[in-house]
């Protein structure tokens, strides 16, 4: 991860909201590059912890494999620690957090001395999500989502392409249920804010990126803070 410690001219605090498979990770990575702020994916942080068999990893493994949510206290501590690092001083793109109202309330507290949150809600029909997740392949080594032109190996690091443990069809259905129950209420939590934007995620990735560029630019200037 690049460190972004210059002036904060491209500063922005983004939350990517949306169900699993909506394309949050892909778009978060692009936005992180253009705005020069780190992408913080709680799913990636947890998968790394599982792989390294840390205390958090051991506590989270079974929950993740069942498609359920890891406890709020653990997640809030992880994000609080991550946002305190130097590279997040000028902002961040959060992917996978918050996922509950308790987490969103905690994030608002963490933001008290920072700029406003730009919330991008990615909307994709459920049948499309199921199809995307069931056919998704990721790199075993670096976790990148497989691009259509990659064959048997990761185009970034050469690692083997595998199906994510929690992308099996039954677990996908469970994750979508968990989303409806615990994460969708966040749409209501954020939707009254001037910096909330709906994004149609059921379009080709580059078109979605264009819509996000327009939306986050407009939302930043509507707030007058950047
Ligand atoms: P998805 O494709 O479902 O968006 P992620 O990679 O973001 O997947 O997360 C994978 C799993 O990690 C989740 O199903 C959940 O078990 C756990 N997880 C990630 N972020 C959070 C969070 N903010 N709160 C609770 N659990 C989380």
Q: Is the pLDDT of residue 138 over 50?
A: yes
Instruction: Using the mean position of ligand 1's atoms as its centre, give its distance from the Cα of residue 149 in Å.
Output: 27
Instruction: Express each pLDDT in 166-177 by its tens digit.
Output: 888 999 999 999
Instruction: Say which residue, 223 or 77, is predicted with more confidence.
Output: 77
Both tokens assigned to 80: 């609080």
Ligand 1 atom at minimal distance to the Cα of residue 21: 2
Beta-carbon contacts of residue 12 (< 8 Å; ≥ 6 apart) = 35, 37, 91, 93, 115, 118, 216, 220, 226
Q: What is the pLDDT of residue 4?
A: 46
Q: What is the pLDDT of residue 13?
A: 96
Instruction: Using the mean position of ligand 1's atoms as its centre, give its distance from the Cα of residue 67 in Å.
Output: 8
- Cβ–ligand 1 distance for 20 under 6 Å, the answer yes
pTM of the model: 0.88
Residues 101, 103, 109, 110, CA torsion sign: negative
Q: What amino acid positions are annotated as catalytic residues?
A: 24, 99, 136, 164, 175
Query: 191, 174, 208: which is closest to 65 by C-alpha?
Result: 174
Distance CA(180)–CA(67), nearest Å, equals 13
Mutate-to-test residue for ligand 1 from 46, 95, 181, highest number of ligand atoms within 8 A of CB: 46
Beta-carbon contacts of residue 79 (< 8 Å; ≥ 6 apart) = 40, 42, 94, 97, 103, 106, 107, 110
């Amino acid at each position: 991860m690049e460190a972004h410690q210059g002036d904060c001219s491209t500063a922005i605090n983004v939350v990517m909201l949306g169900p699993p498979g909506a394309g949050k990770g892909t778009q978060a990575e692009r936005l992180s590059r253009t705005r020069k702020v780190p992408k913080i994916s709680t799913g990636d942080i947890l998968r790394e912890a599982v792989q390294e068999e840390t205390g958090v990893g051991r506590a989270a493994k079974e929950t993740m494999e069942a498609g359920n949510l890891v406890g709020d206290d653990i997640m809030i501590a992880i994000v609080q620690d991550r946002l305190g690092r130097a590279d997040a001083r000028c902002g961040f793109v959060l992917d996978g957090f918050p996922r509950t109202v308790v987490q969103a309330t905690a994030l608002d507290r963490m933001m008290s001395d920072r700029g406003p949150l730009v919330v991008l809600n990615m909307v994709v029909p459920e049948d499309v999500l199921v199809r995307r997740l069931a056919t998704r392949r990721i790199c075993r080594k670096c976790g990148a989502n497989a691009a259509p032109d990659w064959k048997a190996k990761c185009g970034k690091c050469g690692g083997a392409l595998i199906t994510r443990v929690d992308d099996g069809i039954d677990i996908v259905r469970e994750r979508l249920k968990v989303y409806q129950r615990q994460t969708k209420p966040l749409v209501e939590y954020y939707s009254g804010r001037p910096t909330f934007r709906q994004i149609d995620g059921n379009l080709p990735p580059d078109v979605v990126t264009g819509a996000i560029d327009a939306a986050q630019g407009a939302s930043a200037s509507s707030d007058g803070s950047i």
